[in-house]
Amino acid sequence: MTEYNPHVPSDSTESDLIAASLLRLSRKIQLISDAVKALHQDRSQLETKIEDAQKRIQHILSRLPEQSDGRQLNLLGEPVTPTNPEDDNEPTTH
C-alpha cells in the first residue's frame, strides 16, 4: 500500500500564498453571505407590499355595488357631489 504523505509547504512563500488565497475566499464568502441576507430582506419587504396591495384590492372589490345597481361607482370613498342637469348648460348673458 502507498503511504499517505500530506503536502507540507516547504517555505514561507507558499504558506503566504495559501493564506492570501484563504483570506480572499473568506472575503468573497462574506460578500456572498451579505448579498443573500439583503436579498432575503428585499423579498420579505416585497411580500409584505404584495399582501398589503391584495388587502387594498379586496377592500375596493368589497365596496363594488351589485351588478343590478345602476349607481355611479365611488371606489376611492371620496364624496361625490350630485350633478344637476341645469349646471351642464352654458351660462347665458343678458
Q: Is the pTM of this model over 0.75?
A: no
pLDDT tens by residue, 9-20: 567 888 999 999
| C-alpha dist (Å) from residue 55 to 17, 47, 62 | 57, 12, 10
Which amino acid type is present at position 39? L
Is pLDDT above 80 for 57? yes
- What DSSP character marks residue 18? H
Burial code (b: 16+ CB inside 10 Å, e: under 16) for 74-94 equals: eeeeeeeeeeeeeeeeeeeee
Percent of residues, the chain, with pLDDT higher than 70: 59
